[in-house]
Every structure is written in structure tokens, then in C-alpha cells.
Amino acid sequence: MPTWNSRGLRGSILEELLNKTNMKYLENNLALIQKIPTPITPIKIDKKTRHITLAYFEQKSTVDYIGVVQGIPVCFDAKECHTSTFPLANIHEHQVKFMESFEKQDGIAFFLIYYTMSDEFYYLSLRELKKFWDRAENGGRKSFRYDELNKKFFLRKESGLFVPYLDGIQKDLEDR
């Protein structure tokens, strides 16, 4: 069974930016997006700080966020990348299957990738991910490079929004 041990801050900055963006979208009646917590069972708790120091995951998580944007169901997962190469091992098969099922129900599924080296956000549609995923399954690269990505899906920062992913959704809808 997978366990978690002191890696709890990984991605917390990205999560905080997304949560603030989601609150702004809600305040402006543009979207209702919720963070989906990953259920864990604590094994060790620091008695002084009351922090969980060791736990195991009760089940596989599917996506980080789920909700609705102007009547369209959306789900997405957020990932950080510290280099110009994103390993597909950071995305799990059960996540891809969930997202495929989600899109079969007329939803939109995507990944938000934060490239920390360049302080950029990328909207990776499930369709684009599947090209890289299928390439890996057919014996090709098990990663994709920054320079392989479609430049129009890099999200431009806007005033008042930390991660303007609605722009990515709009471009995704236009491409369908």
C-alpha cells in the first residue's frame, strides 16, 4: 500500500494558487470548482504539533479538482515540473482512465502543469496527453519535453487571477 511520509508540502504552492483562483472564479459566478482530498489513514502523529508524519492512502486518487464551468463539467489534476522534461510516471493510468470516462460523459478533463523553472502554467488537454501516453505505450519516450507542447496553451497571467485556466478551457472547446 502506498504511504506518505513528510512530502506533504510538495505542490502546496500550486494548490494554494489554484484554490485562490477557484475562489475568484466562484465570486465572479464563472465556475464552481472544488479540491478533492485524498483519503488517508494516519499511522504516526507528532503529539506536540498534532501533525501527521506517516500515513497510507486508503485508495487511489483520481483528480485534484472537479466541478462545473458555465454548465460544463470539468475535472483536472495539477502537477509541478522543475525541469524541461515532464515524466509520464507522474501521471497514473487510473487517472487517465477516470478522465477518459469523464470526457465520455461530455465533461472536460485536463492537467495543469506548473513549470517552476520558467514560472509558467500549461493547460494540457487529455487529447494532447494521450498522444504522449500512446507514444510511451508503443515503446517511445516515457516523457514529453517543454518544446513539444502547443504554445497556445501556455496560460498568460491576468490581473487578479493566479492560474487563468478558463482561458485554456475556452481554447480547448474551440479545438474540439
Q: What angle do CA 100, 106, 111 make, to 5 degrees?
A: 50
62 is an annotated ligand-binding site residue: yes
95 is an annotated ligand-binding site residue: yes
65 forms beta bridges with: 35, 76
Provide the annotated binding site for Mg(2+): 62, 64, 77, 95
Binding residues: 62, 64, 77, 95
